């Protein structure tokens, strides 16, 4: 069936479903238990329509419209199932990894920008160390050398920091990391240019630090320090950038929709990403304050745990939530 007859046949059904969604989103209950059952049945039919539209290669506008309706329907269908703790668990084990996979294009673009600039700058400064001063001032470089000196009692911290201040550093890391992530995400409102800038800038800065310390001989403390919390922190920055790029794409190429409507739909998708980014950054701050900075742990223990954390983060986004996604469709 071609797209035009397909839309003509099911248009009224989609409009009614959208109206029911509007009632539920305003916290207004449906009229009767029969309406609730009908809503669930209509949701399953809508999932079938989305699958057909994708399989037949219908226009991106139609596919996106059906995807947004199914997403809103999914949220309302499962809104009252379980207490807040159960909904959080469902978000962590199903919704968040599903969303990241669905937005793989934005995630891939953000990863290329961030990790690409990190790698290029790291290699460049490893061979030309003086270039580090093009990104960092001499005072910052001196602090960095002190923080990652091989004989430092607390790795990644200035000498005056005591172990009793770990909880203060935990709060500092949360505030600092979330600030970076928010800048990277909100920069998408500048037609994606802000997100592009912060992804490149943060990648280049981290790469510069890594390259400079490695050639200086402080890599023996720097790499064991960053490998653990980096799994959470760098992934979070990348996902924040992906969310920002999605906002920018909605403004640059809204398709047949008005820019305001395209931005609203994109922002709704990005909310889940931002919530997940925040959770990842809290985990990163906790790991950085209480695990990464300890000089008492063996280097090989830190490398081993860090490698396991990177593998766990990768497996989390690749594997979790697939069964639930299939059943919803």
pLDDT value at residue 33: 58
pLDDT value at residue 57: 87
Distant-in-sequence, close-in-space partners of 165: CB < 8 Å, separation ≥ 6? none
Using pLDDT thresholds of 50, 70 and 90, give the confidence band for residue 35. Answer: low
pLDDT value at residue 165: 59
Residue 40 has pLDDT above 90, yes or no: no
Residue 160 has pLDDT above 70, yes or no: no
pLDDT value at residue 164: 47
pLDDT value at residue 133: 93
Measured at the CA of 47, the angle between CA 46 and CA 53, to 5 degrees, comes to 85
CA-derived radius of gyration, the chain: 23
pLDDT, tens digit, 9 for 90 and up, residues 202-220: 999 999 999 999 999 888 8
pLDDT, tens digit, 9 for 90 and up, residues 285-323: 889 888 887 777 888 999 999 999 999 999 999 998 776
Structure tokens of 144? 């960095």
3-state secondary structure of 82: coil
Which residue is it, tokens 């990863």? Answer: 111
3-state secondary structure of 317: helix
CA-closest candidate to residue 205, choices 141, 103, 324, 121: 121
pLDDT, tens digit, 9 for 90 and up, residues 108-156: 999 999 999 999 999 999 999 999 999 999 998 988 888 888 776 666 5
pLDDT value at residue 219: 87
pLDDT value at residue 30: 54
pLDDT value at residue 108: 97
Residue 290 DSSP label: I
CA-closest candidate to residue 199, choices 258, 253, 242, 254: 242
pTM of the model: 0.73
User: How many CA atoms lie less than 13 Å away from 96 in the CB half-sphere?
Assistant: 20
Spell 171-205 as b/e; 16+ CB within 10 A means b.
eebbeebbebbbbbbbbbbeebebbbebbbbbbbb
For 144, other C-beta atoms within 10 Å of its C-beta total 20
Measured at the CA of 106, the angle between CA 104 and CA 109, to 5 degrees, comes to 105
pLDDT value at residue 199: 96
Distant-in-sequence, close-in-space partners of 199: CB < 8 Å, separation ≥ 6? 110, 113, 114, 117, 184, 237, 238, 241
Structure tokens of 3? 């797209």
Measured at the CA of 69, the angle between CA 66 and CA 74, to 5 degrees, comes to 125
Percent of the chain with pLDDT over 90: 44
Q: What mean pLDDT, rounded, does the chain reach?
A: 85
For residues 228 and 303, what is the distance between their CA atoms, to the nearest angstrom? 8
pLDDT value at residue 61: 87
pLDDT, tens digit, 9 for 90 and up, residues 216-271: 988 888 999 999 999 999 999 999 999 999 999 999 998 888 888 889 888 988 99
Query: What does 163-188 look like in DSSP terms, one character per residue?
Result: GGGHHHHHHHHHHHHHHHHHHHHHGG
- Distance separating the N- and C-terminal Cα atoms of the chain: 20
For residues 115 and 319, what is the distance between their CA atoms, to the nearest angstrom? 23
Q: Length of the chain, please?
A: 329
């Amino acid at each position: 069936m071609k797209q035009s007859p397909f839309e003509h046949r099911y248009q009224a059904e989609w409009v009614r479903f959208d109206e029911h969604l509007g009632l539920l989103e305003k916290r207004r209950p449906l009229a009767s238990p029969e309406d609730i059952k009908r809503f669930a049945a209509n949701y399953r039919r809508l999932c079938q329509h989305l699958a057909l539209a994708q399989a037949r290669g219908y226009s991106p506008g139609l596919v996106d419209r059906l995807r947004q309706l199914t997403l809103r329907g999914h949220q309302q269908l499962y809104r009252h199932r379980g207490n807040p703790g159960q909904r959080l668990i469902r978000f962590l084990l199903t919704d968040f990894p599903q969303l990241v996979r669905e937005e793989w294009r934005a995630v891939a673009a953000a990863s290329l920008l961030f990790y690409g600039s990190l790698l290029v700058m790291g290699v460049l400064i490893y061979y030309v160390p003086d270039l580090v001063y093009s990104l960092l001032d001499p005072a910052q470089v001196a602090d960095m050398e002190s923080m990652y000196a091989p004989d430092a009692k607390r790795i990644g911290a200035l000498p005056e920091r005591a172990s009793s201040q770990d909880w203060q550093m935990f709060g500092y890391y949360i505030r600092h990391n979330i600030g970076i992530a928010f800048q990277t995400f909100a920069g998408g409102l500048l037609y994606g240019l802000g997100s592009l800038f912060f992804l490149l800038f943060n990648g280049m800065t981290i790469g510069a630090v890594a390259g400079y310390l490695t050639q200086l001989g402080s890599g023996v403390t720097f790499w064991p320090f960053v490998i653990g919390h980096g799994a959470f922190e760098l992934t979070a920055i990348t996902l924040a950038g992906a969310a920002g790029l999605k906002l920018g794409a909605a403004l640059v190429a809204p398709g047949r929709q008005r820019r305001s409507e395209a931005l609203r739909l994109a922002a709704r998708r990005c909310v889940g990403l931002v919530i997940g980014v925040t959770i990842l950054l809290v985990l990163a701050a906790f790991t950085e304050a209480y695990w990464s900075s300890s000089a008492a742990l063996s280097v090989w223990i830190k490398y081993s745990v860090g490698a396991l954390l990177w593998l766990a983060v990768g497996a989390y986004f690749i594997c979790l939530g697939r069964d639930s996604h299939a059943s919803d469709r």
